[in-house]
Amino acid sequence: MKRIFISLISKFYTSLTGLASVLIIFIVAIILGNIIYNGLPGISWKFLTNAPETGMTGGGIFPAIFATVALVILMTLVVLPLGVFTAIYLHEYASQGSKYVYWVRLAIHNLAGVPSIVFGLFGLGFFIQFIGKNIDNIFFAHTLVYGQPAIIWAALTLALLTLPTVVVTTEEALRAVPDSFREAAYALGATRWQMVRHVVLPQAIGGILTGGILAVSRGAGEVAPIMFTGVAYYLPYLPTQLNHQFMHLGYHIYVLATQSPDVEVTKPILYSTVLVLLVLTVCLNFVAILIRTKTRQRLRGER
Amino acid sequence: MADKIVVKNLFVYYGKFQALKEINLTFTDRKITALIGPSGCGKSTLLRTLNRMNDLIKGVKVEGEVYLDGENIYLNNTNLVELRKKVGMVFQRPNPFPLTVFDNLVYGLRVRGTNNNRLLKEIVEKSLNNVWLWDELKDKLKKPALSLSLEQQQRLCLARLLAVEPEVILMDEPCSALDPIATGKIEELMFELKKEYTVVIVTHNMQQAARVSDFSGFLLLGDLIEFGETGKIFTAPKDERTQDYITGRFG
């Protein structure tokens, strides 16, 4: 009797855990299926290369695609050097276990836990109202040039948001390089920088790039941090200067979903925009995985 | 017989753990000195104090003096890069960089700014000849070093070191990852090396120490129990603990 009971319990948990995993597949399938089914018909060359028309009920999303890519590139230019150098300092230069390193690590972990909307407010307060305004006061005789929402401030805010990802993944990558290589380089009379530059970085580059791309794919989808720092509802021009405002895929989705004058007409456009953003992000993740695999193979000498 | 390295009153701590206690000994120029003892006795630690490789370990503290050619290498202003150019090291596991054979061999030269291709090629041939690898590898210079056999890799690491012309070669159990035939080759090589270099080798292998070294030091729990000519240590040790160890009663 007892034995049957035990086997019943066991079966119950097998089903329960199995069901939970099936549920995940199910949910992802529904989301993707729904988006692709409704979004794919709206994708066309015109949709990808034209600006919105007639109050967002027609036309395309090119300004949003262009500016999202531009924003992400700007962000990467800031976050990669900053994050990689921080990680190199923490892992290769700083004496391990020092109070300073402890505080830097703590700060990075806390940064990772800050809600993205708070980054947005911080960007508004710090970059725009403090730095931007002071630049205007000093260089532009109090006219409004940088003291307003702009793509550069949005990019800097996003860089802060993704900084922990880059630092942590870079540190992981550095940690994965065996100490024996460092010792071998030292034993040949290399300086610390030569050791880092020729021996550690080439082996860690795959991991570092993975971190960079993860940051990019996260940054591409974030809306909250840019809401106060530079994104615009609708703009007839592309951002060509650092102090321009811009349209953004994620924010465009929000606008289409909540601010449209005619929801029924906007719906297909909304679906297609979501699909474009999704494809963009998935592509970036895919590239990250590809680079990681390639680098691992190369390190094993498989080439 | 000149003194190459003189160790005076050396104490090493890892945090609170005392790894070496009051070590005094001398490494003779162009001789092979073996450091033997059971695992954890501090022989690797002692070896790594000679080129300050221990500095890389977290929480390490070194007291005392180590003189290389009469100069204390534990001064605050000691140039570690210069020191390690003179005192090179071969490690327990072969650790070629994930580069080609050629790039491995010239690494030490390139970090010193030698970029003359013809000169590099000459040195590559010479250092590979020194470890008897030239014939085996002359057609594989562009191959990844990690594709070589372990024993070739270890000899490559040695060649990589010889290419920068150190004065002292430290070997940390260089044969422990190798089979007996490969070990034999490395040992033969060591006899060749001591014509020009001062060699210090840490080994677990008693026979190896007896075969290759001119002097031996026996360490136990951080103490240098006995030091002297290898012949004497192995035939007539003064200390009972040395006797027990080399006859295999413990360790």
Q: Flag whether pLDDT at B1 surpasses 70.
A: no
Between A130 and B115, name the one with better pLDDT: A130
For A153, the token pair is 């401030």
* B97–A199 CB contact, under 8 Å: yes
Q: What is the pLDDT of residue A257?
A: 87
SS3 content of chain A, % helix, strand, coil (to 5): 75, 0, 20
Per-residue DSSP letter, A302: -
Q: What is the pLDDT of residue B249?
A: 67
What confidence tier does A87 reach under pLDDT thresholds 50, 70, 90? very high
Inter-chain contact B98–A301, Cβ cutoff 8 Å? yes
Best B48, B50, B90, B111 member to test A by mutation, with max A CBs in 10 Å, is B111
Per-residue pLDDT band for B113 (boundaries 50, 70, 90) equals confident
Closest CA to A248 of A230, A268, A266, A263: A230
Q: Quick check: A161 pLDDT over 90? A: yes
Q: Which residue has the higher pLDDT, B228 or B179?
A: B228
The chain B residue lying nearest A178, using CA atoms, is B95
Count chain A–chain B contacts defined by CB atoms under 8 A. Answer: 76
pTM comes to 0.79
pLDDT at A1 over 80: no
Q: Which pLDDT score is estimated for A174?
A: 93
Portion of chain A with pLDDT greater than 70, in percent:
97
Residue B251 scores a pLDDT above 80: no
Separation of alpha carbons A258 and A42, rounded Å: 19
CA atoms lying within 13 Å on the CB side of residue B196: 9
Indicate if the pLDDT at residue A302 is higher than 50: no
**Mutation test of the interface with chain B: which of A179, A188, A201, A302, choosing the one with the most B Cβ atoms within 10 A?**
A188
pLDDT of residue A299: 63
Q: Residue A24: is its pLDDT beyond 90?
A: yes
Angstrom distance (rounded) from CA B12 to CA B220: 14
Order the strands of the B87-90 sheet from edge to edge: B87-90, B168-172, B198-202, B32-36, B215-220, B223-229
What are residue B25's DSSP bridge partners? B7
**Distance (Å, rounded) from C-alpha A159 to C-alpha A216?**
9
| Per-residue pLDDT reduced to its tens digit, A57-80 | 777 888 888 899 889 889 999 999
Q: What is the pLDDT of residue A303?
A: 40
> How confident is the model at residue B138, as a pLDDT?
86
pLDDT in tens, A234-289: 887 788 888 888 989 999 899 888 887 778 888 888 999 999 999 988 887 788 78
**3-state per-residue secondary structure call for A196-208:** HHHHHHHHHHHHH
Which residue does chain A place closest to B97, by CA atoms?
Answer: A181
Name the average pLDDT for chain A.
87
Side by side, the strands of the sheet bearing B60-68 are B17-28, B3-14, B60-68, B71-72
Question: What are the C-alpha distances in Å from A163 to residues A46, A92, A119, A123, A261?
Answer: 36, 18, 12, 14, 38
Distance CA A152, CA A163 (A): 16
Which fold would CATH assign to domain A43-302? MetI-like fold (1.10.3720)
Question: Taking CB atoms and an 8 Å cutoff, what residues of chain B touch A190?
Answer: 81, 107-108, 111
Helix axes A249-258, A263-299, angle to 10 degrees: 160
Give me the mean pLDDT over the A16-43 stretch: 93
Among A192, A204, A171, A22, smallest CA distance to A86 is for: A171
Q: How far apart are CA B171 and CA B193, in angstroms?
A: 12
Residue A152 to residue A132: CA distance in whole angstroms: 10
Could you give all domains of chain B from N- to C-terminal order, each with its CATH number?
3-246 (3.40.50.300)
Residues of B in contact with A300 (CB under 8 A): 146
The DSSP string of chain B is --EEEEEEEEEEEETTEEEEEEEEEEEETTSEEEEE-STTSSHHHHHHHTTTGGGGSTTEEEEEEEEETTEES-STT--HHHHHHHEEEE-SS----SSBHHHHHHHHHHTTT---HHHHHHHHHHHHHHTT-HHHHTT-TTSBGGGS-HHHHHHHHHHHHHTT--SEEEEESTTTTS-HHHHHHHHHHHHHHTTTSEEEEE-S-HHHHHHH-SEEEEEETTEEEEEEEHHHHHHS-SSHHHHHHHTTS--
The answer to whether the CB of A246 falls within 8 A of the CB of A71 is yes
Residue recorded with tokens 């307060």: A125
Cβ A180–B164 below 8 Å, yes or no?
A: no
Residue A19 has pLDDT above 90, yes or no: yes
Cα dist from B170 to B49, B78, B81, whole Å: 10, 19, 16
Domain boundaries defined on chain A: 43-302
Residue B94 pLDDT > 70: yes
State yes or no: pLDDT of A301 exceeds 60. no
Report CB contact under 8 Å: A189, B108.
yes
Q: What is the mean pLDDT of residues A130-140?
A: 89
3-class DSSP state of A88: helix
Residue B250's pLDDT is 61
| Subunit contact B144:A303, Cβ cutoff 8 A | yes
In angstroms, the first-to-last Cα distance of chain A is: 60
pLDDT greater than 70 at residue B167: yes
Work out the widest C-alpha separation in chain B, in whole angstroms: 57
